[in-house]
């Protein structure tokens, strides 16, 4: 596998994974260690309960993943690069031996990610670079809880574990949109059930408010993406296309700020996106994770909200050609039916 022009990239991936695995310590040992900071101990005690809940109540893999902890000493474990052509909302894909073709390319070192992104920009691509707190090896290794996963609070930590375990339960080669939306659906449903299980009324209320804001944001980005797709298909001179594209993203920035004002909050992530410059790659990245979620949620409801039946239905869809499963889950018609 480590031959040809992809050798340097695969070597950094292998080296980065080795360092993560090398730092693993059993969570029980970390919790028992008197030198462990109290906040880390509290997070890991939540993880220990959520990990059992994931297997026994959500039907997620009961294996050695997320039963160890690794302090990686940095804010993010990897940085993902997403790219899209100047006049397209479809992401560029890269293909790898295990994961197949995916709509992003991850680096264990931020400078390497930004160097690669710069090379893509020089080629004319719109590019987005985002730090990622966790990733899944799809069950090939026993993935640890990473120190980078603790910085967002217990609910996001638990949700991330559910998301990554969902990838271990079901993963379809060459279909990032299907995989990420499935895992996002399991993450959302799993966290809501976890909070209900613990009787966390206040956290449940906050979670539902966050979900409402997220749905509004995704709807806004999706509508912009649809308008741009129509624009890019129009037979316009390049100069006019550039101007209309810029107008669309200026309008989107204003709509994001209006959404924040209605919610009475300033969301750092949205502000970061605007500051870095909204572009096709940002829209493609969000679409990869969320565009098919309404279809998956509808499928879950069709199965009377039974996760085992839902997983079976998703496995059957995974056996179908990509175009057919996307038509079932990811089209505007599927989203409207879910609403």
Q: Are 91 and 103 in contact (CB under 8 A)?
A: yes
Task: Please name the residue that has the structure tokens 């299907």.
Answer: 178
Is residue 276 predicted with pLDDT exceeding 80? yes
Tokens standing for 124? 């004319």
State residue 46's pLDDT score: 95
Average pLDDT of span 42-64: 97
pLDDT value at position 269? 85
Q: At residue 82, does pLDDT exceed 80?
A: yes
pLDDT of 332: 61
pLDDT band at 266 (very low <50, low <70, confident <90, very high): confident
**pLDDT at 333 (0 to 100):** 54
* Cα–Cα distance measured from residue 108 to residue 130, given in angstroms and rounded to the nearest whole number: 12
3-state secondary structure of 106: strand
Residue 336 — very low, low, confident or very high, per pLDDT cuts 50/70/90?
Answer: low
**Given the DSSP bridges, would you call strands 145-146 and 68-70 parallel, antiparallel or unpaired?**
parallel
Q: How high is the mean pLDDT of the chain?
A: 92
pLDDT digits (tens, 9 = 90+) for 286-315: 999 999 999 999 999 999 999 999 999 999
Instruction: Give me the percent of the chain exceeding a pLDDT of 90.
Output: 83
Query: In terms of pLDDT, which residue wins out, 58 or 268?
Result: 58
Question: Using alpha carbons only, how large is the chain's radius of gyration in Å?
Answer: 20
Alpha-carbon gap, residue 234 to 187, rounded angstroms: 38
Predicted pLDDT of residue 6 = 54
Paired tokens of 283: 């829209």
pLDDT of residue 339: 52
304 alpha carbon, distance to own chain's centre: 26
Q: DSSP assignment of 280-309, as one string?
A: HHHHHHHHHHHTTHHHHHHHHHHTTT-HHH
Higher pLDDT, 270 or 41: 41
**For residue 256, what pLDDT band results from cuts at 50, 70 and 90?**
very high
Distance CA 162, CA 60 (A): 8
Residue 70: its H or E element: strand 68-70
Strand order in the sheet with 78-84: 105-107, 78-84, 126-132
pLDDT score of 9 more than 90: no
What pLDDT score does 152 carry? 85
- More confident of the two residues 270 and 187: 187
pLDDT digits (tens, 9 = 90+) for 89-109: 999 999 887 778 899 999 999
Query: How do 94-96 and 100-102 pair as beta strands?
Result: antiparallel
Q: Both tokens of residue 241?
A: 């296309």
DSSP-assigned beta bridge partners for residue 96: 100
Over the stretch 208-249, which tens digit does the pLDDT of each residue have? 998 999 999 999 999 999 999 999 999 999 999 999 999 999
Q: What is the pLDDT at residue 337?
A: 52
- Reported pTM: 0.91
Average pLDDT over residues 143-164: 94
Contact 220, 258 (CB under 8 A): no
């Amino acid at each position: 596998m480590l031959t040809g022009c992809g050798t340097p990239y695969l070597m950094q991936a292998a080296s980065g994974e080795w360092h993560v695995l090398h730092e693993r310590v059993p969570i029980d040992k970390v919790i028992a260690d008197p030198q462990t900071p109290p906040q880390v101990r509290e997070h890991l005690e939540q993880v220990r309960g959520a990990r059992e809940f994931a297997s026994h109540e959500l039907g997620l893999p009961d294996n050695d993943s997320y039963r160890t902890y690794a302090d990686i000493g940095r804010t993010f474990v990897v940085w993902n690069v997403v790219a899209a052509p100047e006049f397209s909302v479809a992401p560029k894909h890269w293909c790898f031996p295990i994961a197949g073709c995916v709509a992003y390319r991850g680096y264990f070192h931020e400078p390497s990610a930004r160097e690669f992104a710069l090379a893509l920009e020089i080629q004319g691509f719109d590019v987005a670079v985002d730090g990622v707190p966790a990733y899944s090896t799809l069950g090939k290794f026993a993935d640890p809880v990473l120190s980078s996963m603790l910085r967002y609070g217990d609910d996001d930590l638990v949700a991330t574990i559910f998301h990554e375990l969902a990838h271990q339960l079901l993963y379809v080669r060459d279909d990032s949109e299907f995989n990420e939306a499935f895992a996002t659906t399991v993450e959302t449903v799993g966290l809501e059930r976890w909070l209900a299980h613990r009787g966390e009324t206040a956290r449940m209320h906050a979670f539902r408010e966050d979900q409402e804001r997220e749905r509004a944001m995704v709807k806004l980005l999706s509508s912009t993406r649809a308008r741009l797709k129509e624009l890019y298909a129009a037979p316009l001179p390049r100069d006019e296309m550039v101007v209309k594209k810029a107008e669309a993203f200026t309008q989107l920035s204003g709509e994001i700020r209006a959404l924040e004002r209605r919610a009475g909050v300033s969301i750092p992530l949205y502000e970061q996106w605007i500051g870095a410059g909204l572009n096709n790659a940002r829209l493609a990245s969000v679409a990869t994770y969320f565009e098919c979620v309404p279809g998956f949620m509808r499928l879950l409801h069709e199965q009377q909200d039974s996760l085992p039946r839902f997983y079976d239905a998703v496995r059957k869809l995974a056996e179908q050609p990509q175009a057919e499963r996307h038509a079932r889950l990811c089209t505007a018609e599927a989203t409207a039916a879910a609403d």
